[in-house]
Amino acid sequence: MSAVLESHVTERQASGATWLAILQLGLREGRRMVLSPVVLLVLGFMALMGGVNVAPQLTDPSLPSRSEAYDLIFFIFALYTGLIFYIACHLVASSARRTKAEGQLQASPLSSRARSAGLCVGVVIGPGLVAVVGMVTLALLGNDITWVYGSQQPVGIAELVQLALTVIGAGMFAVMCATWLRFPGSLPLGLVILVFGTILMSDAERAPINTWPWFAPYIASPDWIDDAWTLMGSQAWHAVYLAGLCALAFCAVMLREREGRARWLVISAGVVAVTAVAGAVQL
Amino acid sequence: MTDTVAAPLAGIGRVQRGLTPYTPRLTRWPMLLAGIAGSWLVVWWRAGDVTTPDGAVWLMRSVSALAAVAVVFALDDPSIDTTRSLPASRGVLMRLRFVMGAVALAVALAPATVVALMHLDTGSTVLGVMLEVCVLVVLTASAALVLQRQFGISEPAQFMVLMVVGFAMAAQLLGQRWPLLVPPGPQWAAAHWRWAGVLVVGLLVLVWQLRDPASRPLRRSLAW
């Protein structure tokens, strides 16, 4: 009986059901990433440290001004949010390996690749949503500000998109590390590569060519990085380049499984080409 | 010592000796080696830029943060669920793990220390930098043992990067009120009294976690 019923399910319907399941899994994984104890712990810790630091100086218990709030949110997103979500996403992506539940998950209806795709969708839905909310808040706050970072104007939309993409990119990189490097040290190893790699590429003085920092997986805003190279390229194309890096991390996750690897190699080659073009055009 | 006491103790000694050869084999050597390689790479990358005592201090801080995250992998014990029920103190095994971690730390920090010593002119600055290294290592080791012994996580070292990031965050956010990451100068001595305070807290947690729960008297209670 079941065989007869299954024969009515077309390949398209099965594919649609799989994508729906991936989306549902993505929603669940995104929620796990945002509500990870790491995120809540670090945010609570930052609030505590900030409170300890600010409390004795409070003579006037008024709310911070728009420019102060703008500065604080920008600072937290530019320095810490990517790192925090890297750790949270890695812990979620490696939880099955760490709890030795991979064998049980093999018996679930979703394939290993579909579960990896669900993790990547989770990064976009969870940390991505947090980043979008932060960027919308910055855009609204920055609308009326004339004083940000000395005499500079608030950053533009392209730079805000870059900031959101660095958060999503850190999450994607974490999933990629957890998928490919399946050993206990992959979390610190990936973080060290991410941090020191970004510092190395952003260092204009040591770069082989003066445009090299544009290829770093980081924002290129002249309001944040006080270097001459930030004034030379296109902020919008740098955002496209960062989106390309996020897509490349997704392709790398998909390439982990042997099944269908040839198709993903072709897709990855296309993404590499688009990212390379965006990287060249941004200069 | 009577035979009734000596016989079980000899048995415990045999169990410890039997476990000892497995400890180096179970150690996460790749991460210790990656930590050493990473520390040396940072020195190779930045040593040319170190021209002032401040630069030397920051080089030591960066390298010691990297090394502290790596050497704590010597405390990871994938066999803890099996071996914790054996009739043997963990003291010998823990001592062996600490020695392995200390050797890895010394090798990782050697090039950075040589570069730093060339630029640090006063003894108090050198002592201060060494104190900072000790604090980072003690904090990561004590946090790892808390996770291992109180929460049953057999391999806690992978989470210690969070400890270092959190400590750096706290030092930055509390920089105005209780500065820790200060350059050599007038604030150096006051900042290092704070570092010493953090070290005391870390050491207390470490000693508490090294206590063997099976033995009551304080003299025999440390797992050393």
* DSSP string across chain A: -HHHHHHTS-HHHHHHHHHHHHHHHHHHHHHHHHT-HHHHHHHHHHHHHHHHHHGGG-SS-PPPPHHHHHHHHHHHIIIIIHHHHHHHHHHHHTHHHHTT-HHHHTTSSS-HHHHHHHHHHHHHHHHHHHHHHHHHHHHHHHTS-S-BTTTBPPP-HHHHHHHHHHHHHHHHHHHHHHHH--STTHHHHHHHHHHHHHHHHH-TTTSSSTTGGGGSSS---TTTS-SGGGGTS-HHHHHHHHHHHHHHHHHHHHTTSSTTHHHHHHHHHHHHHHHHHHHHHT-
Q: Which of A98-102, A183-187, B7-11 has the lowest mean pLDDT?
A: B7-11
Q: Does A183 touch chain B (CB under 8 A)?
A: yes
Residue B183, pLDDT above cutoff 50: yes
At A9 the pLDDT is 57
- In the predicted model, what is the mean pLDDT of residues A126-147? 84
Q: Which of A126-130, B6-10, B14-18, B220-224 has the lowest mean pLDDT?
A: B220-224
Can you give the residue ranges of every domain in chain B?
3-221
How far, rounded to the nearest angstrom, does the alpha carbon of residue B16 sit from its chain's CA centroid? 23
ipTM: 0.76
At A75 the pLDDT is 87
pTM of the model: 0.83
Contacts of A186 in chain B (CB under 8 A): 158
Contact assignment for A189 to B31 by CB distance below 8 Å = yes
pLDDT, greater one: A51 or A211: A51
Residue A220, pLDDT above cutoff 90: no
**Closest Cα in chain A to B66:** A192
Q: Does B167 touch chain A (CB under 8 A)?
A: no
State the nearest Cα–Cα gap between B218 and chain A, in angstroms: 34
Residue B75, phi then psi, degrees to nearest 5:
-90, -10
Contact assignment for B177 to A52 by CB distance below 8 Å = yes
Cβ atoms of B56 and B116 closer than 8 Å? yes
If contacts are CB pairs under 8 Å, which of residues 79-108 in chain B contact chain A? Answer: none
Q: Does B69 touch chain A (CB under 8 A)?
A: yes
Reading the block at residue A43, the tokens are: 């945010």
Chains A, B: CB pairs < 8 Å: 64
Q: Which member of B38, B155, B166 has the closest CB to residue A192?
A: B38
pLDDT, greater one: A71 or B5: A71
Contact assignment for A185 to B169 by CB distance below 8 Å = no
Q: Which member of A50, A53, A188 has the closest CB to residue B158?
A: A188
At B154 the pLDDT is 85
Contact assignment for B28 to A56 by CB distance below 8 Å = no
At B10 the pLDDT is 64
- pLDDT tens per residue, range A162-207: 999 999 999 999 999 999 999 888 999 999 999 988 888 887 776 6
- pLDDT tens per residue, range B90-142: 677 788 889 999 999 999 999 999 999 888 877 788 899 999 999 999 999 99
Can you give the residue ranges of every domain in chain A?
12-46+65-101+108-281
What is the gyration radius of the CA atoms in chain A, in angstroms?
A: 21
Q: CA-to-CA distance for A91 and B158, rounded, in angstroms?
A: 10
**pLDDT tier for residue B17 given thresholds of 50, 70 and 90:** confident
Q: Which of A5-9, A122-126, B92-96 has the lowest mean pLDDT?
A: A5-9
Q: Which of A95-99, A197-201, B174-178 has the lowest mean pLDDT?
A: B174-178
Q: Does B216 touch chain A (CB under 8 A)?
A: no
At A10 the pLDDT is 66
